[in-house]
Amino acid sequence: MPFITARSTSLTVAALITLSLAACGPPPPPHSSDPMPPPAPVTVAPTPPPPPEAEVIPPSPGSTMVWEAGHWNWTGGTWVWVAGHYEQRPQPTAQWVPGHWAQNSSGGWVWVPGRWT
């Protein structure tokens, strides 16, 4: 049976802690007080979207709600309709600018997301 001392136990624990910390990798970058959201992925379709589908707009659930019309979404192989819905106006004077598909310089079609102004 090996002889264990307090010193050898302390050295073993210190070595294990050092190895554990080294395995964690470098520390993360400092947290910013004004974080920027990651850029949205760019969707490029090879053809223009089909004509918009007809939608029946239900009555507004409130005076601060704005209808966001449906639109076509390119999934990488086919067009899929995304139904419209109501969105909460972020401020009383905010106006919704709808998203749309725009043709880019290489002939593809790029989704330009809607936004509040």
Say what the pTM is.
Answer: 0.62
Cβ atoms within 10 A of the Cβ of 69, count?
A: 16
Predicted confidence (pLDDT) per residue in 27-64, tens digit:
555 555 556 566 556 679 999 999 999 999 999 999 99
Task: Give the domain ranges of the chain.
Answer: 44-116
Helix (H, G, I), strand (E, B) or coil at 68: strand
Residue 112: name the closest of 74, 64, 65 by CA: 74
Ranges 23-27, 33-37, 64-68, 80-84: which has the least confidence: 23-27
Whole-Å CA distances, 5 to 17, 18, 20, 35, 76: 19, 20, 23, 51, 65
